């Protein structure tokens, strides 16, 4: 298969969502079985939204308001985002796309979070039903979603978060184990860092004027639909095990599983410096502890990006 045909196949796979032959599929219309059970979100529970990240989905909406943005690898070596909101709920978030098995482990660190997603691979839906979270797709709360006219389907499904949460739960809902405060001693001056997936890349450029890391994806500056440049106060490149899962998309591409429980190394970017760090998350219900030279690693106040890179 030529590179052009391979790229076309991968794009078609991501556009069609994740499925297996003979099972329900997320066809980009945000469908999930109406029987998906859900319970009311707990007080102090954050909102996590799966956000489309292929070129056709950009620019995104509401990404700059997230407290944490996780970047994970999906089928074909492409990327997808999970944005977590606790201190602020923007008017609109999206485009919203499908969930993955890795999300369930990642979200266990929060207290019964609300997960907004467009659907999932048919065999994954029962696992989502059993997970300790409030799962909301268009199939069980269509009033919270709408189709925009700015992009073609499936890249135009948007969420009105205020229809899921009455108000932002506050910073106490961010039970990630992240610490904020003054930077540690040491670190190495750094102005740019690129993290590569097989078919995607993230670049973070330090802006001394803004005291932020300006985000670019696949070589293009990341801006929201209202023209705001997405910028992080802290960037974490967390090196993890990425293995095959039991799930595939409809083209037969395996869905990677990103292991976020365990331990390993990381690069933490803040204040124009890079710090060598270690990470540890003993169980799924624990947050992730970052240390440098054996002492806790403080993050800078503001939006945190965590990019899961293959160890």
Q: Is the peptide bond before 154 cis (omega within 30 degrees of 0)?
A: yes
231 in a domain, yes or no?
yes
Q: Give me the residues paired with residue 244 across strands.
A: 256
29 in a domain, yes or no?
no
What is the pLDDT averaged over residues 277-291? 98
27 in a domain, yes or no?
no
The model's pTM is: 0.87
Contact criterion met (CB below 8 Å) for 60 and 94: yes
Q: pLDDT digit string (tens) for 198-220?
A: 999 999 999 999 999 999 999 99
12 in a domain, yes or no?
no
Q: Which domain holds residue 228?
A: 42-311
CATH number at residue 118: 3.50.90.10
DSSP output for 178-229: -EESSPPS--EE-SEEEEEETTEEEEEEEETTTTEEEEEETTEE-BBTTSPB
11 in a domain, yes or no?
no
pLDDT of residue 246: 79
What is the pLDDT averaged over residues 8-32? 38
Contact criterion met (CB below 8 Å) for 188 and 274: yes
Split into its structural domains, the chain has a count of: 1
pLDDT of residue 123: 87
302 in a domain, yes or no?
yes
Q: pLDDT digit string (tens) for 45-67?
A: 999 999 999 999 999 999 999 99
- H or E stretch covering 4: helix 3-16
Q: pLDDT digit string (tens) for 111-163?
A: 999 999 999 888 899 999 999 999 999 998 889 999 999 999 999 999 999 99
72 in a domain, yes or no?
yes
Q: pLDDT digit string (tens) for 229-239?
A: 999 999 999 99
């Amino acid at each position: 298969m030529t590179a052009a045909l391979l790229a076309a196949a991968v794009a078609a796979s991501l556009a069609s969502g994740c499925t297996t032959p003979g099972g329900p599929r997320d066809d980009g219309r945000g469908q999930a079985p109406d029987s998906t059970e859900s319970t009311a979100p707990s007080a102090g529970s954050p909102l996590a939204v799966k956000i489309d990240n292929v070129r056709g989905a950009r620019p995104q909406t509401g990404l700059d308001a997230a407290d944490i943005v996780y970047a994970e690898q999906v089928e074909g070596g492409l990327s997808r985002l999970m944005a977590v909101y606790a201190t602020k709920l923007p008017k609109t978030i999206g485009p919203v796309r499908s969930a993955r098995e890795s999300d369930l482990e990642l979200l266990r660190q929060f207290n019964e979070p609300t997960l907004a997603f467009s659907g999932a691979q048919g065999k994954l839906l029962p696992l989502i039903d059993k997970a300790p979270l409030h799962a909301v797709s268009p199939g069980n709360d269509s009033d919270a979603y709408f189709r925009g006219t700015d992009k073609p389907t499936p890249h135009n499904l948007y969420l009105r978060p205020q229809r899921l949460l009455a108000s932002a739960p506050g910073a106490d809902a961010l039970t990630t184990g992240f610490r904020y405060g003054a930077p540690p001693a040491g670190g190495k001056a750094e102005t740019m860092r690129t993290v590569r997936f097989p078919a995607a890349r993230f670049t973070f450029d330090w802006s001394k004027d803004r005291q932020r890391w300006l985000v670019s994806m696949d070589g293009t500056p990341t801006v929201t639909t209202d023209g705001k440049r997405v910028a992080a106060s802290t960037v974490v490149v967390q090196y993890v095990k990425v293995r095959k899962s039991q799930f595939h998309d409809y083209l037969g591409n395996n869905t990677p599983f990103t292991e976020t429980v365990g331990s390993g190394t990381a690069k933490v970017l803040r204040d124009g410096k890079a710090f060598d760090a270690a990470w540890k998350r003993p169980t799924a219900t624990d947050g992730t502890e970052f240390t440098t030279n054996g002492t806790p690693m403080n993050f800078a106040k503001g939006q945190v990006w965590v990019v899961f890179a293959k160890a």
